[in-house]
Amino acid sequence: MLNKADTTEQLAYDFIRQLAFNTLIGNADAHAKNYSIFLDDAPRITPLYDALPLGTWPQYDQRLSMPIGNARYAAVVTPAHWDYLANRTKLDKDKVLEIVSTIANRLAETLDEAYAGIDQLPPEDIVRPIKKNLQRML
């Protein structure tokens, strides 16, 4: 539907970036109200917000609010699911997979540093489920 606001598909690929990030961190609560569009000079995706690595807390529902392909859980999403999503949305599958791979690589490079020094949980408890998600994508 984003192509109605932007025929260049830039909005759609920007959305895929945010969706990939949320999926890779295991944010099962990333529902449609967590994504917005600025409608000023040119439509653009707002900065990401409410991004929580919910996989860290298995006592909460882990079903993705927005499935990837036909995968309902971040813990099972593979490149094949992103390929399926690209085909269903008529986006370039190579570009979608490149976006997801780029996000996964950036997360892998910065994850330990990003969560270092958190007092509430040991950082390894936070990053373990995220690293498992990254392993399937890299």
pLDDT at residue 3 in the model? 61
Q: Which residue has the higher pLDDT, 32 or 6?
A: 32
Location of structure tokens 């882990």: 62
Location of structure tokens 């969560």: 115
Please list the residues that pair with 68 across neighbouring strands.
71
pLDDT at residue 35 in the model? 86
Q: Dump the DSSP string for 40-105.
A: SSSEEEPPP-S---GGG-TTS--EEEEEETTEEEGGG--HHHHHHHHHHHT--HHHHHHHHHHHHH
How far apart are the C-alpha atoms of 3 and 22, rounded to whole Å? 22
pLDDT at residue 15 in the model? 94
Determine the structural domain holding residue 100 and report its residue range: 2-137
Proportion of the chain above pLDDT 70, given as a percent: 91
State pLDDT tens for residues 27-77.
998 888 888 888 888 888 889 988 888 888 889 999 999 999 999 999 999
How far apart are the C-alpha atoms of 83 and 120, rounded to whole Å? 37
State pLDDT tens for residues 74-127.
999 999 999 999 999 999 999 999 999 999 999 999 988 887 777 766 667 778
- What's the domain count of the chain? 1
